[in-house]
A and B are shown apart, each in its own frame.
Chain A
Amino acid sequence: MKNRPSLRYFSGPFKAFLGIFLLVSVLLPLLRMFANIGSVDPLAIIAGPRFKQAVIHSLTASAAATVISVALAWVFALCTLRTGMRFREILGVFGTLPMLIPSISHGMGLVFLLGANGLLTRLFNLSGSIYGLKGIVLGSVFYAFPVAFLMFSDILKYQDCSPYEAAAVLGIPRRRQFFSITLPYLRRPLVSVVFAVFTLIITDYGVPLIVGGRYATLPTLMYQEVIGLLHFGEGSVIGAFLLIPAAAAFIFDLLSRDRQSQGFVIQQTLPRKNKFRDAAALGYCLAVCFLIALPIGGFCLLVFAAKYPVDMSFSLANIERTLQMKAGRYLLNSLLIASGTAVLGTGISYALAYWTARTKGRFLKALHLISITSLAIPGLVLGLSYVLFFKGSFFYGSFAILILVNIVHFMASPYLMAYNSLGKLNIHLEEVGQTLGVGRFFVIRDVIIPQTRITILEMLSYFFVNCMMTISAVSFLAASRNRPVALLITQFETQLFFEGAAFVSVLILACNLTVKILIYLYKRKENYRDQPKRREKQRAAA
């Protein structure tokens, strides 16, 4: 650092803080969990019948759900980005809607639709049980579809279309184009998406908790061991096991990211009109959106009907009853935790990203890696680690521990957002400031932050939305005082108060939707302000 006199005063305490933060919030708890494995005989547990069965269940359900959701999402992404169908944008937005409700609600949604007394069950006189493998796969598809869709849209948005145009000019047939252009380009991102979706599904316990029935998966087994039986050693073994797919996905991403050569000039052209194809695409997307809307519609029906299925008249009694069970207070808890996490998490990950993206130093590469490694730690594992590490301290059972665990759990994505947009700003801004007699702090305040404000908003909303929904890490840590509202869904479900569970899901959806809409409006305002620029550029180009 000797070449950077400006960092002299500023960096010491800052680095110490971030170093201690990462140590206490990530490394030590994880190590504590691994140490805990020593308290039991891990080999005996792994060889045991319950564990083996859970592994097979988890793999089966996750593989099936991954294949289905990836396929559905891929076609959906193609339809919204590579066809001329109408309503492309609005359908694309609608396709991400399920991301705003907790995975546990997806499980509930299935029960409302296809359970013994479900809407569709009654409507079509279906027989057979939704509980078990079928339910887990279906629920996971609902849960993972929007994630896969978003990842695919990103890939397609940044795919360079000019090779296709060249191919068209050269008269290369469509099928050859697919094998020579599309596949080579997509192979790595595709594997990346498959890994990510698989990890998401296999570490999720919201869906199997509700519709798993006796079909125990690794996360439900872990939950039973820890919460039900207080077998922390067994839980730790399963936790360590759950790290494997996540770690594999992470390593794959890391290896492939370096080699990916993304062109800087991205040529995007709208596909030519093709009536038949566009109509088919529209049909497909409407069908998918209808399916997505079904559980949400189901929630509303359940909430506002006086007593489903006996009395279908409109009533607010269910809401009243839910509120009497202190849903309001828990909602406040959630809002507090989510806002706290959003503000602090954004601050920390932004500072971290600033440090790794815009300064030079020896340990920054390592720090960058640690920051994105947190992506690979499933919430359940993090939760258990925190229980083991912080139990007995004043910190345990406080709001602060929930905020901390959420920050760590969700930090990687916002960190990367900040890292990318900070890296794109001109590298000389701070130096210009220095030569003009304006310190780094002021350049950050007056130049860097204003130029990345959209990213900051996205970071805030990412933290907020995910905190509102999450149940994995917090289910181990929450006490009655600081319980977030999403956990009420589990509670109501065990009390067979389904209307309450539905209402809570709708509440969470409403909060998240509000945040998303606010951000959308702000962005639109910003874009509008930049409009003249685009017009001017067009004029210049003409």
Chain B
Amino acid sequence: MRVKLEARDLVHSFNRQEALHRISFEVREGEFLSILGPSGCGKTTILRILIGLIIPDSGRVFKDGRDITFLPASRRNMGIVFQNYALFQNMTVLGNVEYALKFDKEKKARSRSLAEGIIEQVGLTEHLHKKPYKLSGGQQQRVAIARTLAMNPQVILFDEPMSALDAATRLTLREELKHIQKKFQSTMIYITHDQEEAFALSDRIMVMDKGGIEQLDTPQRILAEPGTDFVRDFVLNNLLIKTKSLVKYVKVEP
């Protein structure tokens, strides 16, 4: 598969504290890549560098082989979905999705029908004219996703999009996300705290700790051969604990 995004030797510090130490990795076209790691290990920083909200202290970012390190976020053709939705609360669902389209010369004329089409895709047609605060958390996150999809980005980044949602909603939204990815064929990078979620969704998982990459591989291979002790502890043990606690509730017939 083609390489869609490449990060090469990324270094970044906040207040002289290094948050990323020379990180390099590739993301393939159409891939679903999860980033997994403890709090403060630099996941969000990577995402923000990829999309252009931060310019790294050193290192390069390539998209389709082109250096985009200094390209403004607005011209990268990438979208981002945040944990707290960041919706425009003063606009309706339609308004949220249509807003950015109106700034696009080519799409301006069709903005309304484009937006309606996307909203239908995420199953929110009946809420078209509602303000976001009247929707549930899961529905709001779907508006945020629709707003991003409307711009037809080649890469979509998610920064813990589900951590504000309850377990049941997460499961449904997870399925929908899979569905959306198939349909739109977009490359997705997905930050999560939830090991199980990462294993369920991803083509590959990047495990991080303290500003470095511990392992980047398919879920199967991470399970089979964890690259470091950290990976074993952080990923496998956590998964195990989860499974065990689930097993407790399941009556096992002898």
Determine the chain B residues whose CB is within 8 A of the CB of A433 once the complex forms. Answer: 100
Q: Is A259 an interface residue (CB 8 A)?
A: no
**Residue in B closest to A437 when the chains form the complex, CB atoms:** B74
Determine the chain A residues whose CB is within 8 A of the CB of B76 once the complex forms. Answer: 435
Tell me the minimal C-beta distance from A265 to chain B in angstroms. Answer: 16
Determine the chain B residues whose CB is within 8 A of the CB of A446 once the complex forms. Answer: 88, 91, 99
> Is B90's CB under 8 angstroms from A435's CB?
no
Q: Is A429 an interface residue (CB 8 A)?
A: yes
Tell me the minimal C-beta distance from B51 to chain A in angstroms. Answer: 6
The contact of B80 among A432, A450, A533, by CB within 8 Å, is A432
The contact of B151 among A5, A426, A431, A437, by CB within 8 Å, is A437
Contact residues of A: prevailing secondary structure: helix
Q: Is B133 an interface residue (CB 8 A)?
A: yes
> Is A426's CB under 8 angstroms from B100's CB?
no
> Is B82's CB under 8 angstroms from A442's CB?
no
In the complex the two chains form, what is the Cα distance from A536 to B127 in whole Å?
14
Determine the chain A residues whose CB is within 8 A of the CB of B27 once the complex forms. Answer: none
> Is B103's CB under 8 angstroms from A437's CB?
yes
Q: Is A438 an interface residue (CB 8 A)?
A: yes
Q: Is A316 an interface residue (CB 8 A)?
A: no
Q: Is A6 an interface residue (CB 8 A)?
A: yes
> Is B134's CB under 8 angstroms from A532's CB?
yes
Determine the chain A residues whose CB is within 8 A of the CB of B51 once the complex forms. Answer: 435
> Is B72's CB under 8 angstroms from A436's CB?
no
The contact of B84 among A2, A428, A536, by CB within 8 Å, is A428
Determine the chain B residues whose CB is within 8 A of the CB of A431 once the complex forms. Answer: 53, 73, 80, 86
Q: Is B78 an interface residue (CB 8 A)?
A: yes
In the complex the two chains form, what is the Cα distance from A439 to B53 in whole Å?
13
| Given contacts A6-B72, A446-B99, A435 and B78 within 8 Å (CB-CB) | yes
| Given contacts A5-B52, A533-B134, A435 and B73 within 8 Å (CB-CB) | yes
| Given contacts A3-B55, A5-B55, A532-B134, A437 and B104 within 8 Å (CB-CB) | yes
**Residue in B closest to A452 when the chains form the complex, CB atoms:** B90
Cβ contacts A434-451/B at 8 Å (1 or 0 each) = 111111001000110011
**Residue in B closest to A533 when the chains form the complex, CB atoms:** B134
Determine the chain A residues whose CB is within 8 A of the CB of B84 once the complex forms. Answer: 426, 428
| Given contacts A432-B82, A435-B74, A447 and B55 within 8 Å (CB-CB) | no
Q: Counting chain A CB atoms within 10 Å of each CB, which of B79, B86, B103, B133 scores highest? A: B86
Tell me the minimal C-beta distance from A53 to chain B in angstroms. Answer: 54
| Given contacts A3-B54, A429-B88, A450-B90, A435 and B80 within 8 Å (CB-CB) | yes
Determine the chain A residues whose CB is within 8 A of the CB of B91 once the complex forms. Answer: 446-447
In the complex the two chains form, what is the Cα distance from A433 to B103 in whole Å?
11
Tell me the minimal C-beta distance from A361 to chain B in angstroms. Answer: 13
> Is A436's CB under 8 angstroms from B53's CB?
no
> Is A434's CB under 8 angstroms from B73's CB?
yes
| Given contacts A436-B79, A437-B104, A447 and B88 within 8 Å (CB-CB) | yes
Cβ contacts A493-534/B at 8 Å (1 or 0 each) = 000000000000000000000000000000000000000110
> Is A5's CB under 8 angstroms from B86's CB?
no
In the complex the two chains form, what is the Cα distance from A432 to B87 in whole Å?
9
In the complex the two chains form, what is the Cα distance from A123 to B76 in whole Å?
81
- 5 residue pairs bridging A and B, Cβ less than 8 Å apart: A426-B84, A435-B52, A435-B79, A437-B75, A447-B88
Given contact pairs A5-B72, A6-B72, A6-B73, a sample of 13 additional A-B residue pairs in the complex whose CB atoms are under 8 Å apart:
A3-B55, A426-B84, A426-B87, A432-B82, A434-B72, A435-B51, A435-B52, A435-B76, A436-B74, A436-B148, A437-B75, A437-B100, A533-B133
Interface residues of A (CB under 8 A from B): 2-3, 5-6, 426-429, 431-439, 442, 446-447, 450-451, 532-533, 536
9 closest cross-chain pairs (CB), A and B = A436-B100, A428-B86, A450-B90, A437-B74, A434-B73, A426-B86, A447-B88, A428-B82, A432-B86
